[in-house]
Amino acid sequence: MKKLNLMLHCGANGVERDVIDMCPVPEATDTWTPIPHHELLGRVEQAVTRGGMSIVEQAHGLTHDGDRYFGMMQVENGNSADDYGIVLGVRNSHDKSFPAALCLGAGVFVCDNLSFSGEVKLARKHTRYIRRDLPQVISRAVGMLTDHRHKQDLRIKSYKEHELNDVAAHDVVINALDCRAVPSTKIPYVLQQWRSPAHEDFQPRTVWSLFNAFTGVLKGNATKSLHRTQALHGLMDSVCGLTV
């Protein structure tokens, strides 16, 4: 299987796996129980393996003195496309900034673009009983990968088949700004990538090519890209008439 070059770019300080094990964990309170980053990651890895899938690549990042973690895994499930793969994001915090969650998405081999189309929060927030509930919740979330992959395949197929002219593409770009899928400062670069794609794969005038013009420009901050590409998927789905 082809591998993505999973990079967190400037959104986090890239670290090796063993550094995650050393992150200090605050003491729990009556209403809040932080989960160590390495414990969450290990449970997700185990669930992926039990589900008959394999992890072919990983990347890990920390911010805010190790209090916030974001990692990515490229997962192989025996149904591989030639030009993109399934990516599983894992995020966690020790400072109450966001709940533990799995993010489901895709990565494009030719350019390493990433797009997250879904997120599953694990046991809601870091509640008192999160350790009790976590194994079951993770297993259920990882079990969604097969269904997610099927929907992802249908979505990308539709993106590739739906043609766009320049006028329609420019309308989509403005709508992307309105729904906060892209900041205004990035619009000239998106248009540049649409008009003169850096990769031959995106020469066809389709939604898929425009989508990758966006995701190529949005590289740089994994956590911000997560929310922006979710919004971008919603926009592109509407352009293609999808109800996924």
**CB 119 within 8 Å of CB 223:** no
What is the side-by-side order of every strand in the sheet holding 68-76? 13-15, 54-63, 68-76, 84-93, 101-108, 113-121
Question: Quick one: tokens of 86?
Answer: 């399934």
pLDDT surpassing 70 at residue 119: yes
Q: What per-residue confidence (pLDDT) applies to 3?
A: 74
pLDDT tens for each residue of 221-237: 667 788 899 999 999 99
Question: Quick one: tokens of 75?
Answer: 């997962």
Indicate the pLDDT class of residue 174, thresholds 50, 70 and 90.
very high
Q: Give whole-number Cα distances, 189 to 157, 198, 211, 212, 240, in Å.
A: 25, 12, 13, 12, 23
Residues 182 and 169: their CA atoms lie apart, in Å, by 14
pLDDT tens for each residue of 40-76: 999 999 999 998 889 999 989 898 999 999 998 999 8
Residues 76 and 52: their CA atoms lie apart, in Å, by 9
| Domain residue spans of the chain | 13-158, 161-240
